[in-house]
Amino acid sequence: EAGVTQFPSHSVIEKGQTVTLRCDPISGHDNLYWYRRVMGKEIKFLLHFVKESKQDESGMPNNRFLAERTGGTYSTLKVQPAELEDSGVYFCASSHATGAGELFFGEGSRLTVL
Amino acid sequence: GENVEQHPSTLSVQEGDSAVIKCTYSDSASNYFPWYKQELGKRPQLIIDIRSNVGEKKDQRIAVTLNKTAKHFSLHITETQPEDSAVYFCAASENSGYSTLTFGKGTMLLVSP
């Protein structure tokens, strides 16, 4: 069974440019999460989809970040325009069950904004 | 909201020694506490978790203890091996509904042969 896959693994862009990160969750997992880790800091929650609906987007930093999950399958996270402080590793995770349980993480997309 | 503090940020031990990583949390409603291990360049993976109806859980060389009164929980690794070297993250959440995990800042564990 394929795990959570993320693309790209690494992206280097200049301030002001746009980047779109993609996440393919484990098939059948209704819950999809985006997290971000800035170096040395915690893995910080960004948002949570249940199928195609945004269940919780309280962690989204500002309106430069847009997440979508059309059709309830894969998800994209767009940063437009990117700022220096957006640099970090963006993790996607999925889970099957509601309530507390194991999250299955992707390997992350490392974003470097110059 | 929940706040999770994790210590130490780095931990170096000799192979065969024990390692302990400690976390505290702020939200008394939290009752699910997982630990994730992230090896260099790989994805975080769940290694053990504990729910608030138990005080201790063990799986081979790893164990987790929970003190709900003090709002802290710890990861214990015995007989450490070089392959235990990784970043370990603690986390906390409520055990119901669409609760989300709040993570600590991570502990980089280095086990020297």
Contacts of A3 in chain B (CB under 8 A): 43
CB B64 within 8 A of CB B35: yes
Once rounded to an integer, what is the mean pLDDT over residues A12-41? 95
* Locus of tokens 């138990």: B54
CB B82 within 8 A of CB B15: yes
Phi and psi angles of residue B45, each rounded to the nearest 5 degrees, phi first? -135, 140
Q: Are the Cβ atoms of B46 and A106 closer than 8 angstroms?
A: no
SS (H, E, C) B59-105: ECCEEEEEECCCCEEEEEECCCCHHHCEEEEEEEECCCCCCCCEECC
Once rounded to an integer, what is the mean pLDDT over residues A49-64? 93
- What pLDDT is stored for residue A100 in this prediction? 73
Q: Are the Cβ atoms of B44 and A40 closer than 8 angstroms?
A: no
β partners of residue B79: none
* pLDDT for residue B97 is more than 80: no
Interface A-B, measured as beta-carbon pairs within 8 A, has a size of: 66
3 state SS of B5: strand
* pLDDT for residue A97 is more than 80: no
Chain segment B57-87, per-residue pLDDT in tens? 999 999 999 999 999 999 999 999 999 999 9
Q: Residue A78's pLDDT band (boundaries 50, 70, 90)?
A: very high
| Whole-number Å distance between alpha carbons of B39 and B22 | 19
* pLDDT for residue B94 is more than 90: no
**C-alpha dihedral (A37, A40, A42, A48), degrees to nearest 10:** 0
Q: Is B44 on the interface with A (CB under 8 A)?
A: yes
| Whole-number Å distance between alpha carbons of B27 and B41 | 32
Judged on CB neighbours under 10 Å (0-12, 13-18, 19+), A58 is: exposed
